[in-house]
Amino acid sequence: MTKILPPGLSQGALDRALAAFERIVGRQWVLATDEDRTTYLDAYAIGDGLSHQPAGAVAPASAEEVQAIVRIANEHRVPLWPTARGKNLGYGGSAPLVPGSIVLDLGRMNRILDVDPKLGHCLLEPGVGFYDLYAYLQENRIPLWMSVPGNGWGSVMGNALERGIGYTPYGDHFAQICGLEVVLPDGGLLRTGMGAMADNAAWQCYQHGFGPSWDQMFAQSNFGVVTKMGFWLMPEPEATIRLKVSLPNPEDIGWAIDALHRLRLDRVIEHNFVFGNYLRDAASTSQRVDWYDGPGAFPQSAAEKVMKHFNIGWWNFTLGLFGHEGVVKAREEIVRKTLEPHLDKPLVAEPWHRGEPIEKSLAGRPSVAALQVVNWYGGRGGHVGFSPVMPPDGRLALEQFKRMKARYDEFGQDYYTSFTMGQRHINNVNLILYNRDDPVIMDRIRRLFPVLIADTKAHGYAEYRTHLDYMQTVAGSFDFNNGAMARLNQAVKDAIDPNGIIAPGKNGIWPRAHREHAA
């Protein structure tokens, strides 16, 4: 691995900064060997990942150490790239946007500081993973449920701050944040919400403070380093019911999205769920070669084989009902009344009652099974997602599906899609799977992604989250009044981070010192 330096810095200047970091965290937690730097590369990079290689990493153990590191970074003009556990797979992992940045690895700060079983909240450090919190709740027999994303390997806090989702009524993870502690770009320490008052007793009970509420400022941003997060957890319900639904035809998406949206809007269904095509199921448990080994996009004949084998439809989704027994039963009836007239057989309900094995319930349990999909094409697998946000409208969803599928077909890429149903929106997550060692696949991915962005923008949609490589393009698609939002973000950035220390370029926000990279 060739040496890389932070922009504008000499080797001597970098060495002086690293030595200063060592004095804060101890020698063993400044990680700058070639091997260390390899471990922070994007495992799913499109290409070799070296365009986002860090100059090293520093791993603090406390908020005080983070403050000291940020001050040193200002002094030496070294950009820091904060990461919680580095498992933001598909979006860049722990790799920095600007090559030569120092990864600020918060993984050692992994304490579960508080869990309140009665009030249903917790206070976490960045390095607490979904597995850690789950284990803690289980071992201490705390009847609170988690919402977990598809990849449960990562950090609870990192996922929430990137606006990740899960599949329980608490699945909008950012919306469960209640109080943050943040190291600001000048090294100062801030607490948001009620935490702005020292020793406030309701920090994890009320999301706002007095006056403006700044928590959103620290989501998908580079305005600070979050060191503690208050977070709401769901009290264990009395009962859950799982209903698996399959729809045989691609065109079913039209009526289904309209019907399902009504169930979401009325809060009969209270959770995000994934309305996905057959390839989701196929890629989770098998490889492409098991079904089709030819060129071009996965053909309908292979799709038929998949559907027959798994006994699934073109579209498949799982609905969940959570709550008191009577409420859950009543909701089940409404779901049946809504969907069964369109189906050829009644829905099969899988009930769970408190006291039965947790595996039967709809509790969020961490898993990495979803990572299986990257093995679809074999080799060194990876994926990126193209995920525009849309109105929850059946006609629009049908049109979007047809457009996206036509593009995948045109480029010869297997179409893997899902329409995640929020309460008032759809997130159309199109996964782009690849084998990093296959130049034919990688070439078409490079050509396909910008086309998808442009197509979707032409219809008035934009992405909710994206990979490092596309942050600038997606940020540029938010172009109202010639980029008024970008100008505000830059004005804030320059005001609070004049040296451009924290994550330059993240989500298209460039500090003055690095703005020449923005083109």
Partner 1 sequence: MKALVVIAAMLATAAGQAATPIDGRTAFRAHCGFCHLEGGTGTIMLGRRVPKGQALLEARPDLHADYVRAVARSGLNSMPALTRVEVDDATLAAIADYLAKGRK
Q: Positive or negative, the Cα torsion across 4, 5, 8, 12? A: negative
x/- mask, partner 1, residues 327-366, rule CB under 8 A, reads ----------------------------------------
**131, 174, 292, 310: which one binds partner 1 (CB under 8 A):** 131
CB of 492 to partner 1, least distance (A): 30
Minimum CB–partner distance for residue 2 and partner 1 (Å): 16
For 294-338, give the secondary structure using H, E and C. CCCCCCHHHHHHHHHHHCCCCEEEEEEEEECHHHHHHHHHHHHHH
Active-site residue 91, yes or no? yes
Supply the minimum distance, in Å, between the C-beta of residue 28 and partner 1.
7
Q: Does 292 bind partner 1 (CB under 8 A)?
A: no
**Which DSSP state fits 132?**
H
Q: Does 142 bind partner 1 (CB under 8 A)?
A: no
- Per CB under 8 A, contacts with partner 1 among 357-416 are 368-369, 371-372, 374-375, 378-382
For residue 142, the minimal CB distance to partner 1 (Å) is 12
Question: Which 17-36 residues touch partner 1, going by CB under 8 A?
Answer: 28-29, 31, 35-36
Q: How far is Cα 165 from Cα 155, in angstroms, rounded to an integer?
A: 13
Of the listed 167, 278, 464, 470, which one is catalytic? 464
Q: According to CB under 8 A, which residues from 210 to 249 bind partner 1?
A: none
Closest approach, Cβ 500 to partner 1, in A, equals 25
Q: Which of 2, 12, 118, 139 binds partner 1 (CB under 8 A)?
A: 139
- Distance in Å, CB of 435 to partner 1, minimum: 9
Q: Please provide residue 124's backbone torsions phi and psi, each rounded to the nearest 5 degrees.
A: -125, 150
Q: How many residues bind partner 1 (CB under 8 A)?
A: 47
The site map against partner 1 for 453-482 (x = CB under 8 A) is ------------------------------
For the stretch 12-16, contacts whose Cβ atoms lie closer than 8 Å and that sit 24 or more positions apart, written own/partner, are 13/76, 13/77, 14/55, 14/76, 14/78, 16/76
Distance in Å, CB of 127 to partner 1, minimum: 8
80 binds partner 1 (CB under 8 A): no
| Residue 315 sits in the site that holds partner 1 (CB under 8 A) | no
Establish if 85 lies at the interface with partner 1 (CB under 8 A).
yes
What mask, x for binding partner 1 by CB under 8 A, covers residues 145 to 174? Answer: -------xx---------------------
Least CB distance from residue 150 to partner 1, whole Å? 12
Q: What are phi and psi of 436, to 5 degrees?
A: -60, -20
Cα–Cα distance for residue pair 208/214, rounded to 1 Å: 8
Beta bridge partners of 430: 386, 417
Kindly state whether residue 51 participates in binding partner 1, applying the rule CB under 8 A.
Answer: no
Q: Is the CB of residue 482 less than 8 Å from the CB of residue 79? A: no
Q: Which of 223, 226, 189, 220 is nearest to 493 (CA)?
A: 223
Active-site residue identified among 40, 44, 91, 434: 91
- The residue range among 104-112, 222-230, 231-239, 275-283 that interacts with partner 1, by the rule CB under 8 A, is 104-112
Nearest C-alpha neighbor of 81 from the set 64, 109, 100, 62: 100
**CB closer to partner 1 out of 138 and 213:** 138
For the chain, the C-alpha Rg in angstroms (whole number) is 23
The answer to whether 470 is a known catalytic residue is no
For residue 409, what is the DSSP state? Answer: H
Nearer to partner 1, 183 or 374 (CB): 374
The pairing of strands 80-83 and 225-232 is: unpaired
Tokens, residue 517: 């990279």
**Beta carbons of 57 and 80 less than 8 angstroms apart:** no
CB closer to partner 1, 153 vs 174: 153
Task: Evaluate whether 150 touches 420 at the Cβ level (below 8 Å).
Answer: no
What proportions of the chain, in percent to the nearest 5, are helix, strand and coil? Answer: 40, 20, 40
Tally of CB atoms within 10 A around 267: 10
Of the candidate residues 6, 7, 86, 364, the single one contacting partner 1 (CB under 8 A)? 86
Tokens of 155: 């950090």
From the list 103-111, 225-233, 415-423, 486-494, the region that binds partner 1 by CB under 8 A is 103-111
187: left (phi over 0), alpha (psi -120 to 50) or beta: left
Which of 18, 55, 61, 148 is close enough to bind partner 1 by CB under 8 A? 61
Angle at 108 between CA 106 and CA 114, to 5 degrees: 95
Catalytic residue check, 264:
no
d(CA 220, CA 226): 12
Shortest Cβ distance from residue 38 to partner 1 (Å)? 6
Among candidate residues 258, 252, 369, 362, the one with its CA nearest the CA of residue 307:
252
Separation of alpha carbons 402 and 408, rounded Å: 10
The binder of partner 1 chosen from 72, 73, 74, 132 (CB under 8 A) = 132
Q: How far is the CB of 387 from partner 1 (least distance, A)?
A: 21
The distance in angstroms from the start CA to the end CA of the chain is 26
Q: Which of 7, 90, 96, 107 binds partner 1 (CB under 8 A)?
A: 107
Structure tokens at 89: 């797979």
Query: Could you list the residues that contact partner 1 (CB under 8 A)?
Result: 28-29, 31, 35-36, 38-41, 43, 57, 59, 61, 85-87, 89, 93-94, 105, 107-111, 127, 131-132, 134-136, 138-139, 152-153, 287, 368-369, 371-372, 374-375, 378-382
Active-site annotation, residues? 91, 464-465
